[in-house]
A and B are shown apart, each in its own frame.
Chain A
Amino acid sequence: MSNAAMPKSLLGIEELSASQIQAILERARIFKPVQTQGRKMDRLKGKTVIHLFYENSTRTRLSFELAARRLGADTTSITAQSSSVQKGESLLDTLNTLAAMRPDAIVMRHSASGAPHFLARHLATTIVNAGDGTHEHPTQALLDAFTILEHKPVLNGLTVAIIGDIAHSRVARSNVLLMGKFGARVILCGPPPLLPPELKELSPCVSLCHSLDEAISGADVIMMLRVQLERQNEVYVPSTHEYFQYYGLTLDHMKKAKPDAIVMHPGPINRGREIAAEVADSPRSVILNQVENGIAVRMAVLDLWIGPPTQPDPEKTMQPQMNADERR
Chain B
Amino acid sequence: MPIREKTQLMSASEIERTLVRLAHEIVEKNASLDRLVLIGIRRRGVPLAQRLAYNISQIQQHPVPVGILDITFYRDDLSTVGQKPVHTATEIPFTIADKDVILCDDVLYTGRTTRAALDALFDHGRPRRVQLLVLIDRGHREIPVEAQYVGKYVETTDAEIIEVKLREVDQMEKVLLVEKTD
Contacts and interface: CB of A to CB of B under 8 A. Distances in A.
Direct contact of A and B (CB under 8 A): yes
B78 interface: no
Contacts of A87: 32, 34-35, 98
A89 interface: yes
B154 interface: no
Interface string A70-97: 0000000000000010011110000000
Nearest to B34: A87
A-side interface size class: under 10
A84 B34 CA distance: 8
A220 B160 CA distance: 88
Residue of B32, B35, B99 contacting most chain A CB atoms (<10 Å): B35
Residue of A84, A87, A90 contacting most chain B CB atoms (<10 Å): A87
Nearest to B125: A88
Contacts of B99: 88
Contacts of B59: none
A88 B98 CA distance: 6
Interface in B55-112: 95, 97-99
B-side interface size class: under 10
Contacts of A88: 35, 95, 97-99
Nearest to B35: A87
A88 B35 CA distance: 7
Contacts of B34: 84, 87, 89
A229 B34 CA distance: 35
Interface string A87-115: 11110000000000000000000000000
A219 B97 CA distance: 49
Contacts of B35: 87-88
Interface string B97-135: 111000000000000000000000000000000000000
B2 to A, nearest CB: 50
Interface in B19-39: 32, 34-35
Residue of A84, A87, A88, A90 contacting most chain B CB atoms (<10 Å): A88
Contacts of B97: 88
A224 B35 CA distance: 41
Contacts of A89: 34
A90 B32 CA distance: 17
A89 B35 CA distance: 8
A112 to B, nearest CB: 16
Nearest to B96: A88
A328 B51 CA distance: 51
A87 B98 CA distance: 7
Interface in A240-266: none
B91 to A, nearest CB: 18
Contacts of B98: 87-88
B20 to A, nearest CB: 27
Nearest to B99: A88
Interface string A266-283: 000000000000000000
Nearest to A90: B95
B125 to A, nearest CB: 10
A89 B98 CA distance: 10
Nearest to B32: A87
B114 to A, nearest CB: 23
Interface string A225-237: 0000000000000
A135 B1 CA distance: 67
Nearest to B37: A88
Nearest to B94: A90
A240 to B, nearest CB: 31
Interface of A: 84, 87-90
Given A87-B32, A87-B35, A88-B35, 9 more contacts: A84-B34, A87-B34, A87-B98, A88-B95, A88-B97, A88-B98, A88-B99, A89-B34, A90-B95
12 contacts: A84-B34, A87-B32, A87-B34, A87-B35, A87-B98, A88-B35, A88-B95, A88-B97, A88-B98, A88-B99, A89-B34, A90-B95
